[in-house]
Homo-oligomer: A and B are copies of this chain.
């Protein structure tokens, strides 16, 4: 190894790891080393630039807490999270989109037709649709787990004195695969930009705004779960979402509420508007 130079070092580093030949770990590690080294050679990275990267990572670590994961945020603004979502979308299934930092795995079960908005300000909306498999068959008993920001772009979990389970609901689809509930239309909000990732955005003259969206995690027995977001036509930042979460197939239309069209859906409240969005799940592995 004393003969290594800037071209042979890459294979020497790979060989230093004795991970099993052909294993996934070895494949991931070898490729990582190759890309890291190629990047460094291609850019002729200086010591100062190298140290700037390491200091950036150190600073991301320092600002991170269990509730503030700066590395996920970094992944988000570099489109890495979105790319992983895209790669892992199964053919025919609804496209994946960002999980984000606000998911809770113990949100309350609610009956179909329930209202999540309560007395919150904003446009109330009926969210409804059908969960199907890739053969277009409705899935009864699918779980529709949703969470969202309010009419001012804030998640209740972000505000002291609010119930963190507000604006969340876990619904089970009926025999026809349908889900339906009313809520308040969420507004856009910014990702946290007071840390190193915010500095990066400023250095690149980028904004921190996310297009307004509803979060969904959809699960059903023997099906592959999806995590996705539903966006709204003609709303702000829909074409320059800070975390690249928007996909054409995930944009819903907000229509005026027409009771006649959904007369068979018993609702707790009468909303101002309505949104129809169907989800498709692919078979599990």
Contact = CB atoms under 8 A, between A and B. Distances in A.
Interface of A: 1-6, 9-10, 12-13, 16-19, 25, 27-29, 31-33, 35-47, 49-50, 54, 57-58, 60-62, 64, 69-72, 75, 78-88, 203-206, 238-241, 244, 246-248, 251
Contacts of A246: 1-2
Contacts of A61: 57-58, 60-62, 64, 70-71
Contacts of A31: 39, 42-43
A104 B68 CA distance: 33
A81 B247 contact: no
Contacts of A18: 204-206
A81 B49 CA distance: 12
Given A37-B80, A41-B83, 19 more contacts: A1-B239, A1-B241, A5-B86, A9-B86, A12-B79, A16-B244, A17-B205, A19-B204, A25-B204, A27-B43, A31-B39, A33-B78, A35-B35, A37-B79, A40-B87, A41-B87, A44-B87, A46-B88, A47-B85
A33 B74 CA distance: 12
Contact of A40 (B42, B70, B83, B247): B83
Contacts of A54: 69, 71-72, 75
A28 B49 contact: yes
Contact of A35 (B38, B44, B50, B240): B38
Contacts of A86: 5-6, 9
B240 A16 contact: yes
A82 B240 contact: no
A4 B5 CA distance: 40
12 contacts: A2-B239, A4-B244, A6-B83, A9-B244, A10-B79, A10-B83, A18-B205, A28-B45, A32-B78, A36-B78, A37-B80, A54-B71
